[in-house]
Amino acid sequence: MFKHMSTSTINTILIIGVILLFLEITFFNGGLIFSVLFSGLFIYIGWKKYRKVWGKIIFWIGIISLTLTILNMIAVRFLIIVVIILFVRHYFRTKKEPERIHLDIQSDDVPFDEGTEPLVKQKLFGDQTTARTSYKWQDINVHGGFGDRIIDLSHAVFPEDEAVISIRHLVGNVQIYVPYEVEVAVHHSAILGRAAIFQYRKTKLFNQQVSYRTPEYVTNKPRVKIITSIVSGDIEVKRI
């Protein structure tokens, strides 16, 4: 989410936050420093005597007091609002420009290092595309956050046994493109959403699971098992 922002934009936000903090301390809330110091003193004393019951009580009173003091600061409220706005803007951007992941995967005769980076890294936000170089197949287990995702298997050379792709996503749609010659088994669960797996359609999912398997999945190869879990969003599996 923040990697698309220029350094000058981030610096401007931080400068505005510092100015708001200075104005609040100087003109509006002069007791802010006293409140922070008072809470800090409680935390220090409580931590020193944390083994005793009264020490635990003082420590957590200080933590709660400091947290409430920070949340009541104008500068902190400003930064929270900015983060919310950036989050919403990033979400709608990913709706227009969904994440597309291309897997260029080589067969088993390519040497494989146990320390090799995974093909798809875990990311809560941000675009991601795997490098367009050769890899030995690694089963994919990826967790997503918000926004749409596209998994493209059109360039993959699958292993002789079964390939496995596991995707856990919070909010957003997931599209998976599979070559025509690959047999597919899909196990999908969703709190809210819809499912479109080749010719199969499920127009409404409410805390349900869907299973689909191509007719020749057991006997033919290559084949891939796709396991997906979405809190709110649609899944679509297409031939390409």
pLDDT at 108: 42
Segments making up each domain of the chain, as ranges: 7-95, 99-239
Task: Read off the tokens for 203.
Answer: 């127009």
pLDDT in tens, 220-239: 888 999 999 998 888 999 99
- Mean pLDDT, the chain, rounded, equals 76
CA–CA separation, 153 vs 226, rounded Å?
Answer: 12
CA–CA separation, 74 vs 215, rounded Å?
Answer: 61
pLDDT at 226: 92
pLDDT at 1: 54
Inform me whether the pLDDT recorded for 187 exceeds 90. yes
CA–CA separation, 235 vs 31, rounded Å?
Answer: 53
Poorest-confidence range of 55-59, 93-97, 142-146, 234-238?
93-97
Q: What percent of the chain has pLDDT over 90?
A: 10
Maximum distance among all alpha carbons in the chain?
Answer: 77
> What's the pTM?
0.55
